[in-house]
Structure 1
Amino acid sequence: MAKSTGQTYILSIFLPGFDVLDENGQVAQPQFPYAKTVAPSTLVAPGFVLGEGSIFASTYAWRLVNKADDTDIVLGDLNTPNLAILSATPGQYEFELVVTNKEGTASSPSLIAVTVVDAADATPVTFDNEIRTLMGTSDNSSCSLCHRPTGSYPNIPAYYADSNPDQYFDVRSRIDFVDPTNSPILIKPTSENHGGGVVIDRSTVEGEKQYTMLLDWILAGAPCGTDTEVCYQ
């Protein structure tokens, strides 16, 4: 492949000692690594703390930073994108993730607090019970006020209404399971870039509760539930 000939390359040839070219002779793009961690609000072991959404990461290094003296925890491989918590005494734990890019540059540490609970104390979230109600039904027109075929915006790509048999799959298709907090289903309703404005306001107690519920549901694999009309196979 020929070398770069654009403005970036022209600038580079005037910089003394500049030799940041890749194997194809192209000017290498800036790739400073960024460690990104996410975990459910409460975790039942075995479970995972996610780090695979980190940016420009070639290697991963997890570390247990803090725990109570009377707790025990067993972890999986500390050098994988996602940290496995194999078993743990219920309690508070804090972890750190540092990622390194292919040039060997390390990121700043990303710290994350994890609350481990017993399975009996966990509250599972499913689409057919909690998420569908949040998105909107015939009795609760939150998102479905606009996201419905008969609304003011007929070309909206997803309908969150009872009349849409694919409602669950429309929601699920707007999830990024590798980088959950980057999921459109989370970004859109919490952002001014959303055509409908901010509908989940994280600056409020209720808005943060709704956001956390959505994120927990995604981190659990976005289960649909048992309603055969909604969760058809």
Structure 2
Amino acid sequence: MDISNEASVDPFSIGPSTLFGRTIAFRVLFCKSISHLRHRIFGMLLMCLYKFKNCLRGYLSPVVSWFHPRNPQGILVMVSLIAFLLKRYTNVKTRAEMAYRRKFWRNMMRSALTYEEWAYAAKMLDKETLRMNESDLYDEELVRNKLQELRHRRQECSLRDIIFCMRADLVRNLGNMCNPELHKGRLHVPKLIKEYIDEVTTQLRMVCDSDSEELLLEEKLAFMHETRHAFGRTALLLSGARLWGRSMSEW
């Protein structure tokens, strides 16, 4: 039998021979592998979630037990935490409102047309301003002690003793009471400083209005000149006389 005319068979030809058939075969195999991979990933995610849930339950179980309705300590902690958060929110809101009111009264001071309008705006701004402790800005104890000494001399000592002590103790910036930060944005002088200034003013008027023969007129004038020199006098120096005024003050 002649087999030379039979079709030859390729030993390595496996699967469909056409392009269409190979495409279908590849798609079937690929989808099957993707589906298998998808199931494996889903199983691993479920396992991770299960382990995470167990760990979370182990860590959170004491916390959850704290907030159980039958645990008074947990309820107390929760109420304290809520009260703290509410207080913090209230403080922030209050500070924001005060800052807005301070800005409003500053603008009113800038746009005031009369002194009365400016004074009223300054008074309201003074109420809204949170201030530092005044004792941190000047020596409050020193000023109080000097005020007590002045009052004691006025009641117990003679006029000549008053003059002698004032000549020795009277200074312009006693205890740093002229600190700009102390008077910044204020309509009134602090009460202690005002009482000290009023007491000094009273004793100066006592010296001026005294008709006692203990002091001559020349002594009164000399005392007033010395006091004025110790305190100094405020001068308004514009740009033309600024350098001259500075040189005169240094001289």
TM-score using structure 1 length: 0.21
Higher helix proportion: 2
Higher strand proportion: 1
TM-score using structure 2 length: 0.20
Relative contact order, higher structure (CA 8 A, sep 6+): 1
